[in-house]
Amino acid sequence: MAPSIQLTSAGAGNDSDSGDLEDVRLLDSYDKRDVEDGTKRIQVRITGMTCAACSNSVEAALKSVDGVIEASVALLQNKADVVFNKNLVKDEDIKNAIEDAGFEAEILHEQGSVGPKPVGDSTVVGQFTIGGMTCAACVNSVEGILKNITGVKKAVVALATSLGEVEFDPKVISKEEIVDAIEDAGFEASFVQSTSQDEIVLGVVGVVDVQVLESMLSGFKGVRQFRFDPLLSELNVVFDPQVLSSRSLFDGICAVSNGMFELHVRSPYARMASKDGSDSENMFRLFTSSLFLSIPLFFMGVICPHIPFIYSLLLWRCGPFLMDDWLKWALVSVIQFVIGKRFYVAAIRALRNGSTNMDVLVALGTTASYVYSVCALLYGALTGFWSTTYFETSAMLITFVLLGKYLECLAKGKTSDAIKKLVELTPATALLVVKDKDGKSIKEREIDSLLIQPGDTLKVLPGTKIPADGIVSWGSSYVNESMVTGEAIPVLKEINASVIGGTINFHGVLHIQATKVGSDTVLSQIINLVETAQMSKAPIQKFADYVASIFVPTIVALYTAGALGAYPDEWLPKNGNHFVFALMFSISVVVIACPCALGLATPTAVMVATGVGANNGVLIKGGESLERAQLVKYVIFDKTGTLTQGKATVTVAKVFAGMDRGEFLKLVASAEASSEHPLAKAILQYARHFHFFDGSSLTNGSQNDASEFKSGWLYDASDFSAIPGRGVQCVIDGQHVLVGNRKLLEESGINISTEVENFVVELEESAKTGILVACDDILIGVLGVADSLKREAFVVVEGLQKMGITPVMVTGDNWRTAQAVAKEVGIQDVRAEVMPAGKADVVRSFQKDGSIVAMVGDGINDSPALAAADVGMAIGAGTDIAIEAANYVLMRDNLEDVITAIDLSKKTFSRIRLNYVFAMAYNIIAVPVAAGVLYPSLGIKLPPWVAGACMALSSVSVVCSSLLLRRYRKPILTTILHEIVVN
């Protein structure tokens, strides 16, 4: 880890008595209130613990104290978390108990009450890069370490991305302590980013005087802590967002620096990409170095014996050994201990954590070959009996393993291309329109897009990307939103229209007012969703983790048995050495048996699939969702806004009470003016156009604005109330008005005549919804409302049926309308007049026999069903609540993506199964060959370097297999319809 300079906290100045900054930060962050039940929590720093036995001793000592309710000791953090009854025990008693056990103790701070969290207490999610992981055993080891740290709520580690996502309480543990814990376990770690909004990372260009920088930052009110890393030229600043904004901090540092250095904001994604590039470069450098030193070994063993002059030089005796022996020993020693040092470091780390991985196998096999060769040379020098050496085995083995790791790094980098493409959508800079106190524009200024703040006015030129989510405040233009929504047709944006960051402005100049910035933008949420999905583990991966955990120890046991002479004597060649013969077989077995590919089989495929899905407008929330979707048996569709356009229009209005049509519509519109229901908006629109039929009152503004509907021409309504699943009621000019369905009127005791009933039935049979209107208990008229089907609905339903999936429709609408719509799209199973809570019950009814059920919906009323379903699919144009409850988000508001989601899931898990074949095939076929099964009958052996090549190829094969998913093309529905059976 790069060394860093820890600066003093701003506000503390240079006071040498301020103590450890981390302790000060923790002290200031804790609530110190006692609670009514008399319990109290404190943290104690403990010095002198060296192993698990020490932490167990401290825990036992604490729990033996009368009044201590709970005690937890964290060995890695050298801390104890103690909950006790303050009426029985004092802080000093806790400290004395630890010291009596033979350790030093220091009470850090009180942690407040035990029980519900104080208001405002929250956890943050941080991302950390973790280096040195080679297989599933490493992942399990790191996850286990993180989950055992006090203050960590959840930890997920991904092998394919070398990332860890940790949910932790910053009041209990800092990100630096998490990094230290990972590094103490022997892995490399660095912090990337977190959900906390109070931190900024700045790249510094130029010569930096640390003391000058410290004095600068100490003068800023609101700066809590800062740290400068001279190797990375990065300045990390933690600040109070209530006092200081990131832009004012940036501008302030630039202003006082007087040109001594330049600053730019470091994007966490750019830092990760830079690290990925350096990892690949480092692996390539190791591989080429090993190859460069291995080539002479190959020439000495294969080419030189055919060149007499050179061969005679190699056979020249120099001291106790031949020149050939000296050269081989020197070259291989460099490869073994300099280039191959990483294998020893990682192997020791794994063994220290109680696990075994690829590095253990490589280190074991190459060391055995090297040590034997050295011993053979020394034995020959002492006795004159010269045995064959196997230096080449060690060198070639390390070279091939490094080649495999380099190819794996390159391939794994390709799996995260989807994230990189999404990140690149956001422009690096933005044009900020600076205004005076009167709101007049006085100048324009180019700023980093990461410094945009809510409320900023940004100028977007033609052909440039919109830098943040916002509202158009001036101008009009067409904007291409295909990169986010998937819709290729540009959308007209005028004043008050919303725009999405990352989309492209085509023609005119726009001024937009930023509403969402940073992690709140649509694009950032999409990136976060894809990242979270890539970090998650599919259930099938548990199998791989289990196999990996027992596979390596089994192989090491076989290696030991082979090296100790388990091979039968009849296998030995004439005059063969039993130990050497067994050793070569054992090394081959150990090397080829590495389970690296097994650990990569699932995560790489899930990574690529989630990226491919994002590129096609299908956002997947995790590997578990991806795995379940391939098994879907029923797809339940909501009707309004899902199968239909969700844009209701009034097609007919019939009056039954002799009232004037205009007066009737005015009455209905006045009753519906306070409702947010889509049908209410349709009625208002229809009534308004009827009322202003001559066009004299039409304006150039929005005709959908509710304030226009209410202005002037509507009656005043009082005692308004919306009745879920029924309609609305209110009082207008002393008259009680009801607008809704049959149930509303029937429950109110209003008679529905045969004439009205026949008219409503006729509407419903033509897939329209009949809205009945009553005034003072008399039914006065009916409105017919139609919501046209989405053009792709019929084809999608038929496509699902061809895939062997049963479509179902559930709606709160009446039976006749529901059946008419279902008949039009080809759905046989219909559930109508279902209340929002009842939709979840419908989902559960299909799950009773163990079937996997998908629910497709768009509204708040669909969220219970989306959450209850095995696979919830939210239409992207739907509400935030529906999207939050779903497993899939269909960004394009197109039902075709339901089939895309299921088809991608099936293709992904077919690829995962194939990956397991690649991962295990080399082991199943080659391990017996390496162990010598074919040697007695055919004399076939598998040299260790060939075993190393096979091991490397297994990992590369798995990753390349996953990368083939990038060629995925979503199914063309017309093709599906012509297939008899799909998958």
Neighbouring C-beta atoms of residue 606, cutoff 10 Å: 33
For 785-817, letters b (16+ CB in 10 Å) and e give bbbebbebbbbbbbbbbbbebbbbbbbbbbebb
Task: Give the DSSP H/E element, type plus range, for residue 949.
Answer: helix 944-963
Cβ–Cβ < 8 Å for 722, 672: no
Locate tokens 């104080």: which residue?
118
Cβ–Cβ < 8 Å for 500, 469: yes
Helices (H), 148-257: 175-184, 210-218, 246-257
Could you give the C-alpha distances from 490 to 458, 478, 485, 792, in angstroms and in order? 21, 6, 11, 21
For 168-201, letters b (16+ CB in 10 Å) and e give bbbbbbbbebbbebbbebbbebbbbbbebebbbb
SS3 string of 921-934?
Answer: HHHHHHHHHHHCCC
Considering 279, 325, 545, 638, which one is annotated as catalytic? Answer: 638
- Measured CA to CA, the distance from residue 904 to residue 36 in angstroms comes to 56
Roughly how many angstroms between the first and final C-alpha of the chain, as a whole number?
49
Classify residue 277 by its DSSP letter: H
- Measured CA to CA, the distance from residue 522 to residue 511 in angstroms comes to 19
Could you give the C-alpha distances from 306 to 292, 310, 318, 386, 686, in angstroms and in order? 22, 9, 22, 22, 97
E strand intervals along 622-690 = 632-638, 649-655
- Measured CA to CA, the distance from residue 304 to residue 355 in angstroms comes to 43
Residue 36: both structure tokens together: 């009514």
Residue 665: both structure tokens together: 């519509």
Locate tokens 């929250």: which residue?
122
Give 508's contacts (C-beta < 8 A, 6+ positions apart): 462, 475, 476, 477, 478
Cβ–Cβ < 8 Å for 218, 13: yes
Q: Cα–chain-centroid distance for residue 687?
A: 48
- Measured CA to CA, the distance from residue 595 to residue 358 in angstroms comes to 7
What is the layout of strands, in order, in the sheet containing 852-857?
Answer: 618-620, 888-890, 871-875, 852-857, 632-638, 806-810, 829-831
Q: Cα–chain-centroid distance for residue 679?
A: 38
Residue 432: both structure tokens together: 């900020």
Tell which residue, 338, 453, 447, has the closest CA to residue 398.
Answer: 338
The number of helix segments (H) and strand segments (E) in the chain equals 34, 37
Cβ–Cβ < 8 Å for 490, 505: no
DSSP lists the bridge partners of residue 449 as none
In terms of phi and psi (left: phi > 0; alpha: psi -120 to 50; beta: otherwise), the region of 721 is beta
Cβ–Cβ < 8 Å for 136, 93: no
Residue 713: both structure tokens together: 């021409």
Does residue 98 sit in helix, strand or coil?
helix
- Measured CA to CA, the distance from residue 441 to residue 854 in angstroms comes to 52
- Measured CA to CA, the distance from residue 236 to residue 595 in angstroms comes to 39
Q: Is 638 a catalytic residue?
A: yes
Residue numbers annotated as active site: 638
